[in-house]
A and B are shown apart, each in its own frame.
Chain A
Amino acid sequence: MKLDLDEYAYLDSPIHRWEPRCKLVGLMALVFAFASIEDLRLAPVMVGMTVLLYAASRLPVSFWLRRIRYPGYFLLGIVVLLPVLSGETVVWQWGWLALRREGLLAVVLITSRFVSILTVGFVLFGTTPFLITVRAMRSLGLPAILADMLLLSYRYLFEIAGNLAQMQRSMRLRGFQSRGNRWLIPNWQDLNRLASLSGTLFIRSYEQAERIYKAMRLRGYGAQTRAIAPIHRAKTPANQLWSGVGLAIALIVAISFAVAEVVV
């Protein structure tokens, strides 16, 4: 599975040019407005807005498909029983199996909310380099410890995953394979070996962290309270104007969804 969050952050589109802080606030407002939609009539508008946003971001469709697949299965697992169990009006019946209208409508609403929120999330994190996104969060008030932890764990995540893969490979080469032969009863010895595997992974990471901290201290980390590094600013006046306008549009759309939800 490909993990890179920001592999298409180098593209050029209005969404990519949008100032990161404005983008973060605007799109998060939109996401929460989507989450608050309960009326099925608003769902097509929501999906339409999402398609427009994704098209404007010029991210490839393959990126979307690759990322939606796995969470899609998970959602399916949760909602698949709803049309069978929930509601009174039977739409279709085959033996004891009956599809009910209320349940189907609930599935449509939940699925369209899910797809729209996820897609806006892809746009938000797919169009800005991750470092810049974290800086934007930091300047919007994320505590320094959290921001530093976020960056460090992002930096070492892939390395530690590689570490684990290597250890698992060497376990296999030395003849380890789980021999569960009785159903529902785990093999305790194997469990113990896997616990040691995880423990070793933690110890390696812990020792690496000690070295990293020393290196950071030598470079002056923690010596003084740091000013927040400035975000790469929108350079041209046209870009600055667009960033403000974009934020305004996003907020207006979000508020109109919330109002429509109450009024309709």
Chain B
Amino acid sequence: MHIPDGILPAPACIGGYALTGLATWYSLRQINRRPTPTEDMPKAALLTAAFFVASSIHLPIPPASVHLVLNGLLGVVLGYYAFPAILIGLFFQAVMFGHGGLTTLGVNAAMMGIPALLAYHLFLWHSRLQRSLPQKLPQKWVMPLFAFLAGAFGLGLAALIFFTLIITTIPSGFNVATEQTAVTGLSIAHIPLILIEGIFTAMLVSFLQRVKPELLKG
């Protein structure tokens, strides 16, 4: 789900780079506020590579198989490092496989990365919810629930942006109403994928919670 080179008009590409620059600046500012900003850098770098590799795992959904986007999960695990991680992952995909593109790197990174940052904040609400409730719910259920929401929201928002961009910029000569119907239709068709992404994120977070809870600190 990346926009290739040559499809978007130049102003959209430049706008994408501007948005990505802004989001990167914001993320790096949040990272540099930490007492030791370089401490988490190697973890973020290796997890970037691991996410890049893991997104090649195919889930069997007969008769086909789907591969995951994992941008919501990236937000959950990497926190503010998620945006730089997505930028780097997409850069590799563009220069190694030609998946995505150099001119559309900004647009793609913003499309995947901003939902990931939002998913991170959505996931953090699990602790806020726990604090506001008089009686604590079992953490075993609350964390995966919020992970599901983060995973589904991350992919859902990215898919919505993707279809809107593709359909409104390709010179198809359709009128606005047809384009709106197409965007809505394609997004609805993706709801099963969004649910599967959410469920997979929840399963993974529940696994990490049992085996290595440090990874979920953001």
Residues in A lying within 8 Å of B, measured CB to CB: 1, 3, 5, 28, 31-32, 34-36, 38, 67-68, 70-71, 74-75, 78, 82, 85-88, 102-103, 106, 110-118, 121, 124-125, 143, 145-146, 148-150, 152-154, 156-157, 160-161, 163-164, 178, 180-187, 190-192, 194-206, 208-210, 212-213, 216, 221-222
Contact = CB atoms under 8 A, between A and B. Distances in A.
A78 B166 contact: yes
A202 B70 CA distance: 12
A145 B92 contact: no
Contact of A86 (B48, B101, B172): B172
B92 A154 contact: yes
B62 A182 contact: yes
Contact of B6 (A87, A114, A198): A114
Interface of B: 4-10, 13-14, 24, 28, 31-32, 36-39, 41-54, 56-57, 59-63, 77, 84-85, 87-89, 91-92, 94-99, 101-103, 166, 170-174, 192, 196, 199-200, 203-204, 207-208, 211-212, 214-215
A interface: dominant SS? helix
Contact of B50 (A5, A178, A202): A202
A79 to B, nearest CB: 8
Chain B residues touching A, majority SS: helix
Contacts of A36: 9-10
A71 B61 CA distance: 24
B23 to A, nearest CB: 12
Most A-side CB within 10 Å, residue of B8, B32, B85, B207: B207
Contact of A191 (B8, B31, B102, B203): B203
A202 B172 contact: no
Given A117-B102, A194-B59, A198-B57, A111 B6 contact: yes
A121 B39 contact: no
Given A36-B9, A180-B60, A209 B47 contact: yes
